Structure 1
Amino acid sequence: MEQRHPLPPFTAATAQQKVQMAEDAWNTQDPVKVSLAYTIDSEWRNRSSFINGREEIVQFLTAKWEKEHAYKLKKELWAFTDNRIAVRFEYEYHDDHGQWFRAYGNENWEFDENGYMQKRYASINDVPIQESERRIL
């Protein structure tokens, strides 16, 4: 199987690199590109949704970004161990009616030996904001 560097076990530098790679990929809003960082049978919990495998990841992200316009995300490394990384994040977007939101959340990631994310558990809350309150431009 192809490897997706950096590989576990993570150091502070390689964990930060994984976080930045994820942030960059998600900010493309390309569901297929994002899905390639995950194992074929990756397991997600995203809010109250349970998602399994790349095909469902692509479907989920396609629907997400059809509703979340001008999406911009910032991730921050929170903690790491051998093959796990914890991330704090926030992102901003507006809906079809022009209402802006800032979403806050935490993610727990687990990687396989080839550097692909096999588990992603995300807890997220959305807060309505005014466009003038945006911080992530």
Structure 2
Amino acid sequence: MAAPPFNAETAQQRVKKAQDLWNTQDPEKVSKAYTEDCIWRNRDQFFSGTDKIIEFLTKKWQKEKNYKLRKELFTFMGNKIAVQFWYEYQDAHDDMKWKRCYGLEDWTFSEDGRNCKRQMSGNDIEISENERWFKEGVDVNAVHISEQHW
């Protein structure tokens, strides 16, 4: 795992590594990429620490079924990376309707390369089956996302 300061190559690698990790939907595995006292803001929720991260992710993926995520590097500097992301899921709390979340994250990293702060802002929209990008078997990195969605 690359540690800061990041360059263009290591920042890009970090983004795709995070994408792949989150697509496992394994809260325990994902939590290992964060420091034990990592500070999170996820939309309107604020918390910190491994136990809270695992609890949050467990609830997230109980709700967000058939989750598929794509992250793209937005910018980086020193020990910080910003990403733009899109993910699709079926909402188990809303009659399994398909939804897509658009958003931005900013990450701050500790010297050991783990994330010590994560802030996420995102907006969900309902989509139809025909509007889905990340259908079963599709490589999320190969999907063309037009400028109107960036």
TM-score range, shorter chain: over 0.9
For residues 13 and 61 of structure 1, the distance between their equivalents in structure 2, rounded to whole angstroms, comes to 28
* Match of residue 133 from structure 1: 131
State how far apart, in whole Å, the 2-side matches of 1:98 and 1:39 are.
Answer: 33
Aligned-partner Cα distance in 2 for 1:64–1:131: 21
Once the two structures are superposed, residues 63-112 of structure 1 have per-residue CA deviations (whole angstroms, 9 ceiling, x without a partner) of 00001000000000000001000000000001121200000000000000
Where in structure 2 are there 5+ consecutive unaligned residues?
A: 136-150
Name the % identity.
54
Residue aligning to 2:101? 103
**Structure 1 equivalent of residue 83 of structure 2:** 87
> Residue in 1 aligned with 2:18?
22
Unaligned runs of 5+ in 1: none
Tell me how far apart the structure 1 counterparts of residues 88 and 32 of structure 2 sit (CA, whole Å). Answer: 23
Please tell me the residue identity of whatever aligns with 1:113.
Answer: E
With normalisation by structure 2, the TM-score equals: 0.87
1:114 is aligned with what amino acid?
Answer: D
CA distance in 2, matches of 1:62, 1:51: 15
Aligned residues: 133
RMSD of the alignment, in Å? Answer: 0.6
